[in-house]
Structure 1
Amino acid sequence: MTPVRIIIIAKEPRPGFAKTRLMPALGARGAADLADRLLRHTFTQALAAKVGPVELCVAPDAETPYWQALVENASGNSGQPVALTQQIEGDLGTRMATAARRGLENGTPVMLIGTDCPTLDAGRLARMAATLAEHDACLCPVRDGGYSLLGLTRLDDALFQDIPWSTGQVASLTRQRLKQLGWCWQESELLMDVDEPADLHHLEEAHPQLARSEP
């Protein structure tokens, strides 16, 4: 199979910066701690999928000790080199398009993923990567109307422009754009992500080890 580059779009899990929509339920520190667990889980699954290079595209600063330690430990434990890149300024679409373009210019298809969908495990990542051998794109939609993964073998900025991010229209608009482009794509089943306090119940049921902090 042609290697596929997994690009994780991630925020450093600082209190008041990451998972702010969960702060009413968890507080700033609790939301940041959950963001850290979700990020580490996502990173571990991306490495375990073994479909190609793994890249952390991060904000606000790739040079902080948090990211340096995370990459060093992962590379040492997995034996896989990890690329660490900085997100550019701009809205989410601008940042994702830039990351995708950079990855495609390296000569492989790309899969852009976030860190808030724990059901996006190594097996599912591998299956979605395999679909890019016969499709222009792939998509993992989530229950709130967004998506947790967008895979691409080529790029068109229409997929990222004028999208109302963090709304229930994201996946449906992306499908419309893919159809307008005349591209073929493959979708997974509907997945669960963790964005709002109401999602915490589902997380506790499906992934209790992620829902609870270590004592």
Structure 2
Amino acid sequence: MKRAIIVFTRIPKAGQTKTRMMPYLSGKQCKELHQCFLKDILNECRKVKADIFICYTGGTITKPRYFKQVGESLGERMVNAMKKVLDKGYNSCILIGTDIPELRASDLNKAFDKLTYSDLVFGPSVDGGYYLVGMNTLHKEVFNYMNLKEISQPITTIRTLHDMDTKYDLRGYRRRMREHPWMKKTHTGRYLTRNTKISIIVPIYNEEKTIEALQQQLIWLPCEIIFVDGGSTDKTLEKIWPEFHVISGVKGRAAQMNVGAIASSGDVLFFLHCDSELPPHALEQIREVMRDYEAGCFGIAFHSKNFFMWTCRVISNHRAKYRRLPFGDQGIFIDSDLFFMAGMFPEIPIMEDYQFSLKLKEWGVKFGMTRKRIYTSDRRFPKGTIPKLKVMWQMNRLRKDYREGVDIDKISAKYKDIR
């Protein structure tokens, strides 16, 4: 029994393919992503006992089983492609698009199986259209419709899949990738991991002593960076380089971070304190974690050699990794959709990071942790062992008070604001 698969595609060219994803992706990235789709789909097609034809537009290719699309409308071009292949004597033929990288060989085999007792099979897409049509004899009429609900004659279907047309579709792919490990190994999965867009959001208030050092770290990072000022009265704003985007907001770390998040465009939001020191390849480490998790953080470290600062580091990292309660100075990063779904940071004067982590924990969100640590300033801790212990005890006591429902303003009043 002769079977054929037609891969219906455009030749990937920058600025001419997957254009609905622009400007979220550049023209070059759209081309590269389309190439990844093609590689993954062809890999699955080759696992099926069927001849593969490539029906293309956008150039000229002189290879066996490659032929150009002919016709004015999309439906007419698909009719002509199907007729051309069926006329070669094939008993059954399947036509597929190239924006369905989750297609598996099992889907194609299922479609061919259904064609043994039905003359028409479709692969529905989530948006109401279809990514696959298969037939034993030509049915011109079905190509007049791009929505399955408009087709009146009896049809059989295989499983529903997602089209990849917009940036929101890509975000959905990343979410499903966390649930299905095989997707991480595909060309598409690896490409989307490497190109996950990260927005760094830095709340600032009177940070003239730290802003220069942070900018020297961030200037080399190829991502969106947003400083959100809370009304600084020192020289912080004067010292911010013109390369960076600055937003003015009301004072309050939670409110500032929320304002930055609303203005951001990244798939992942990375909330960074101004006195932090990032490890090498920080963005790559975030992407590595976000491939498997919806949220994450860095392990924390201090430059101090003091034994109790080392103890603080160990306790903080254990709390974040095993109790799933990271704090803001560990550099929390999170899927942007999840962040807004969670209602953003609660705009309270203190403990906003703690409350946010508690909420995510209640939802069952697991935090991943990077392999390298972020260094944070120990400026909140005074010199000397005993004074350090007193501050650590006080911080622990404040968290206990918060859990027990003590008024947040009373807790805030006890919290010394060192800048």
1:197 aligns with 2:171: no
Taking the aligned partners of 1:113 and 1:172, their CA distance within structure 2 comes to 19
Question: Which secondary structure state, in structure 1, belongs to the residue aligned with residue 26 of structure 2?
Answer: helix
Question: Which secondary structure state, in structure 2, belongs to the residue aligned with residue 151 of structure 1?
Answer: strand
1:153 aligns with 2:123: no
Taking the aligned partners of 1:159 and 1:186, their CA distance within structure 2 comes to 13
Cα 1:100/1:127, change in 2 over 3 Å: same
Q: Which has the higher contact order (CA 8 A, sep 6+)?
A: 1
Q: Shift of residue 141 of structure 1?
A: 0.3
Q: Shift of residue 42 of structure 1?
A: 0.9
Deviations 1:131-167 (A, max 9, x none): 1111011111011111110001111321123x3x5xx
Identify unmatched segments of 5+ residues in structure 2.
Answer: 178-182, 195-419
Deviations 1:69-118 (A, max 9, x none): xxxxxxxxxxxxx6111111411111100000111111221101001112
1:7 aligns with 2:6: yes
Cα 1:11/1:41, change in 2 over 3 Å: same
Q: Shift of residue 211 of structure 1?
A: 4.0
**Preserved contact between residue 34 and residue 211 of structure 1 (Cα < 8 Å):** no
Aligned equivalent of 1:72: none
Question: Which secondary structure state, in structure 1, belongs to the residue aligned with residue 123 of structure 2?
Answer: strand
**Preserved contact between residue 16 and residue 32 of structure 1 (Cα < 8 Å):** yes
Question: Which secondary structure state, in structure 1, belongs to the residue aligned with residue 159 of structure 2?
Answer: coil
Paired residues for 1:159-174 under 5 Å:
159-161=142-144, 163=145, 165=146, 170-173=147-150
Q: How many residues align?
A: 184
**Preserved contact between residue 11 and residue 58 of structure 2 (Cα < 8 Å):** yes
Deviations 1:16-44 (A, max 9, x none): 11111111311211111101100111111
Aligned equivalent of 1:32: 31
Aligned equivalent of 2:82: 100
**Preserved contact between residue 110 and residue 158 of structure 2 (Cα < 8 Å):** no
User: Which structure would you say has the larger Rg?
Assistant: 2
Taking the aligned partners of 1:89 and 1:25, their CA distance within structure 2 comes to 31
Identify unmatched segments of 5+ residues in structure 1.
Answer: 69-81
**Preserved contact between residue 9 and residue 115 of structure 1 (Cα < 8 Å):** yes
**Preserved contact between residue 9 and residue 54 of structure 2 (Cα < 8 Å):** yes
**Preserved contact between residue 60 and residue 87 of structure 1 (Cα < 8 Å):** no
Q: Shift of residue 3 of structure 1?
A: 2.9
Amino acid of the residue matched to residue 61 of structure 1? G
Identity level (%): 27
Q: Shift of residue 15 of structure 1?
A: 0.9
**Preserved contact between residue 200 and residue 211 of structure 1 (Cα < 8 Å):** no
Taking the aligned partners of 1:31 and 1:212, their CA distance within structure 2 comes to 15
Aligned equivalent of 2:72: 90
Q: What's the TM-score, normalizing by structure 1?
A: 0.79
Taking the aligned partners of 1:197 and 1:96, their CA distance within structure 2 comes to 26
Taking the aligned partners of 2:61 and 2:156, their CA distance within structure 1 comes to 36
Paired residues for 1:39-118 under 5 Å:
39-50=38-49, 52-63=50-61, 83-108=65-90, 109-118=92-101
**Preserved contact between residue 23 and residue 30 of structure 1 (Cα < 8 Å):** no
> Of residues 123, 126, 136 in structure 2, which corresponds to 1:143?
126
Amino acid of the residue matched to residue 9 of structure 1? F
Amino acid of the residue matched to residue 55 of structure 2? C
Taking the aligned partners of 1:45 and 1:59, their CA distance within structure 2 comes to 22
Deviations 1:152-207 (A, max 9, x none): 1111321123x3x5xxxx2222x32xx1xxxx432012211211111001222333
Taking the aligned partners of 1:131 and 1:194, their CA distance within structure 2 comes to 26
